Amino acid sequence: MTTIDHYFYDESAYDYHDGGYVPLKVADAPTKPLTIPPLLKPDKQTANETWYTLTAQAGETQLLPGEKTKTWGYNGSLLGPIVHYERGKTYHLHLVNHLPELTTFHWHGLAIPGPIEDGGCHAPVYPGQSRDVSFKINQPAAFTWLHAHPCPETAAQVWHGLATGAIVTDQHEAKLPLPRNYGVDDIPLILQDRRFHENNQWDYRADYDPDGVAGPTPMINGTINPYFDVTTQKLRLRFLNGANRREWRLHFDDNRIMTQIAGDLSLLPQPIKLTKLMLTCAERAEVIVDFGDCKPGDVVTLYTDQTPLVQFWIHEFKPNHQELPTKLFDVPNPEVTPGLPIHHVTLDGMDEMVAMNGKKFQMDRIDYTMQKGQVQIWDIYNTNGKPGMIHPYHMHGTTFKVISRDGHAPLPTETGLKDTVAINPGEHVRIKVWFDVAGVFMYHCHIIEHEDGGMMAQLKVIDPADPNKEYPLLNHMDLMMAFAKERGVDMDHLWLGGMDSYKKMGMEM
């Protein structure tokens, strides 16, 4: 098996070429054990159903020496517990908002109905209130996630800390010889970055950049300068790029091989070996790392570019000679529905000038309609000139399959099912799209400030069994007036990051 020893994508478009790029640096703080988020405990469960409660809440977190940082999280002060979903089961979620402002609970990567269950901008939960949703999981094993998604305040709420992981398991994955002892040899790594201001506080407005907010301090699972005690020969690392803007170019200091086994929404067809792995915003990847050549006392460090992220402290472990199978997964690849034309999507602009298909997002506008169960080719085009930006394109409520890049084969790292795909400036990426659930769903750039600024659209997926079903849609003004009331300001003094992008293009939200 050939080892991939380079990053993909257009280097001239990497984020470190941005005029507003914020270089990472090691924080002046001691090393700390990597926080391993607990698994969310069910309120109750049966063989086929599980009940969970998730509460969005404000708190304080000890991130650096000195004052605690004011943060938001789920069922805690920052980020949240990992939610476990099992394919074939039905889940009932009690979603509670203890924040001072409205939020939503978006299940990024889950193929569940929209717009309410999906948790996008049409499903707000107001302060002191709750919402109950139920859905059935019917998709392959994957590492998905939960984050806030109120328009146009998504970026700020994620920056405050409203994000966490969700693991989907199934019977196929459970039979494979993979590490899955959570917290011991199966570890989530949520990659984020922050800037600390006076008294260790975050200040989103001070840091605001319409091309994406970034900070100089890496934060992994909500931990600054983390280390992890390695007590098994092999580790399964589940990477999530949970940053608003930053790309992560991952590698080990000793050029150690990572064997990638999964991407966003499924296992890969077969494992691939690599020493360099790049993730754009919202992408996930699962890798197996073998420390069999290490001895107790060794330290192996994971880097992004030139900045260390996590130290792996090696302890005694039992030898593990178990080999990965050469075949991991049969990736679904349904036939395109005859007669359907290629649907074209453009990702336009940078800064405040971002748009999709030449238009900025409107919450109460349906931009496209397709039928549940149909399979269509979508052509996604990044209209940025060179040098421009890589735009990570994401779709709600579905999985898709990447079929080509400018007519060439997909990257080996994206041969499984995806929900987010990175697109170079001037590049056309074609994907095969199908929906197994009906509803209204958004699709957008996942540089979060870009989606808040209008690089987003939405489609209605029609169920042939109920073709006339209507979905009540909110509009931007509904949410902005709620934010103004919650903050005790009039509309003329309300500031939400995405508002500037509309104002500077002379557009109403």
All domains in the chain, ordered by first residue: 3-27+178-314 (2.60.40.420), 32-174 (2.60.40.420), 343-471 (2.60.40.420)
Q: Tokens 């949703």, residue?
A: 133
Q: Which pLDDT does position 155 carry in this prediction?
A: 98
- Look at phi and psi of residue 305 and say left if phi exceeds 0, alpha if psi is from -120 to 50, else beta: left
Each residue's pLDDT tens digit, 7-27: 999 999 999 999 999 999 999
Residues of the chain with pLDDT under 50: none
Sign of CA dihedral 243, 245, 251, 252: negative
Q: What is the enclosing helix (H) or strand (E) of 205?
A: helix 204-207
- Look at phi and psi of residue 306 and say left if phi exceeds 0, alpha if psi is from -120 to 50, else beta: alpha
Q: Which residues contact 131 (CB under 8 A, 6 or more apart)?
A: 95, 105, 116, 123, 125
Q: Which pLDDT does position 245 carry in this prediction?
A: 98
Sign of CA dihedral 181, 185, 191, 194: positive
Whether the pTM exceeds 0.95: the reply is yes
Q: Which pLDDT does position 506 carry in this prediction?
A: 82
Q: Which pLDDT does position 504 carry in this prediction?
A: 84
Task: Please say whether the beta carbons of 167 and 83 come within 8 A.
Answer: yes
Q: How far apart are CA 420 and CA 262, in angstroms?
A: 14
Question: Which amino acid is present at 508?
Answer: E
Question: Which amino acid is present at 430?
Answer: R
Measured from the Cβ of residue 506, the count of other Cβ atoms closer than 10 Å reads 6
Task: Please say whether the beta carbons of 427 and 380 come within 8 A.
Answer: no
Q: DSSP letters along 42-110, please?
A: PSEE-SSEEEEEEEEEEEEE--SSSSPEEEEEESSSSB-PBEEEETT-EEEEEEEE-SSS-B--EEET-
Q: Which residues contact 423 (CB under 8 A, 6 or more apart)?
A: 347, 380, 381, 382, 390, 391, 392, 393, 429
Each residue's pLDDT tens digit, 281-305: 999 999 999 999 999 999 999 999 9
- Look at phi and psi of residue 156 and say left if phi exceeds 0, alpha if psi is from -120 to 50, else beta: alpha
CA angle, residues 360, 365, 369, in degrees to nearest 5: 110
Each residue's pLDDT tens digit, 64-106: 999 999 999 999 999 999 999 999 999 999 999 999 999 999 9
